[in-house]
Amino acid sequence: MDSGDDGRYRIDPDKLPKKLDIDLPPALLKKLAENAAATGRSLDELILEILDQYLQDR
């Protein structure tokens, strides 16, 4: 096995997931929080599911 550093196991910061900040109106945030609580999921999980569904539909 080659012990040289050929870059195969390096992390490329440009390929990491990016952080996305979304500003939501308070009323929408409240509705999403209620929906998340009712389904037992976190707010982040619910938002990711909504974004995923939107992207699949496109």
- The per-residue pLDDT for range 28-48, each reduced to its tens digit, is 999 999 999 999 999 999 998
Does the residue 20 lie in any domain? no
Does the residue 7 lie in any domain? no
3: pLDDT strictly greater than 60 = no
27: pLDDT strictly greater than 90 = yes
Q: Which two tokens stand for residue 48?
A: 């990711």
Does the residue 17 lie in any domain? no
Whole-number average pLDDT of the chain: 85
10: pLDDT strictly greater than 90 = no
Return the sign of the alpha-carbon dihedral for residues 22, 28, 29, 34: negative
Identify the burial level of 36 via C-beta atoms within 10 angstroms of its C-beta, where 0-12 means exposed, 13-18 middle and 19 or more buried.
Answer: middle
> How many domains is the chain built from?
1
Predicted TM-score (pTM) of this structure: 0.60
6: pLDDT strictly greater than 70 = no
Does the residue 50 lie in any domain? yes
Q: Which domain holds residue 45?
A: 26-33+40-58
5: pLDDT strictly greater than 70 = no
Does the residue 58 lie in any domain? yes
Closest by Cα among 55, 29, 25, 27 to 44: 29
Does the residue 12 lie in any domain? no
